[in-house]
Amino acid sequence: MSPIAGMLYSAVKENSQRLQAITSGMSQDEVDYRGPRNNSNSTAQLIKHILYVDLNWIYRMKGEPLPQALKERHGPMIDASNRLPMVQGQSLNTLMSDYEDVLTMLKETCTQLKDADLDKVVTFGHDNEKRATIRWGLWHMADHSRYHQAHINLLRKWYRENAQPGLYMPFCWHSPGFPRLPLLKSGY
């Protein structure tokens, strides 16, 4: 792998390891959890989205269209309502295993890149209306993953707060050492 391609690949790889770490130990219920109002993207949706964006970038780098079989297996990018497609009941192990397969493809692709190839301009976007270099695409893959990891961390926080109310309150009336305050008299 050339030096710059290797550095950018390493950023994507390290962020994938971080994604593994922050999702470790999630139950199926938590993987499918869509926030306290049930209107956020779930961890499953976000992982599948990261995977599909990365897969599309790999094929852009290769200068090839995304094969139909991969579109059917991992797509679409958005549903008819312009939202991330619903993902329900897919295990974290399956999602992360699929993502590892994409990262293996990325490594193989980056191994073929020369640093000069990173200046090649490719199109992207829902209608290929945008243009960027392969260098930017690799950087975007790392940055995009970190961006959605913040969403996953928030989902985890909400899930724990809703699953176990009071768990994250630093002071709770039954906590040892919590000062007992006199109760207000009725009438206040």
What one-letter code names the amino acid at 99? Answer: Y
Domain ranges of the chain: 3-163
Residues of the chain short of pLDDT 50, as ranges, are 165-188
Return the pLDDT at 143: 96
The span from the CA of 48 to the CA of 74, in Å, is 7
User: What homologous superfamily does CATH list for 3-163?
Assistant: dinb family like domain (1.20.120.450)
What's the pTM?
A: 0.84
pLDDT tens digits for range 1-32: 999 999 999 999 999 999 999 999 999 999 99
56 closest CA partner among 64, 70, 48, 66: 66
Q: 145 with 138: CB under 8 angstroms? A: no
Tell me the chain's radius of gyration from C-alpha atoms. Answer: 21
Return the pLDDT at 164: 56
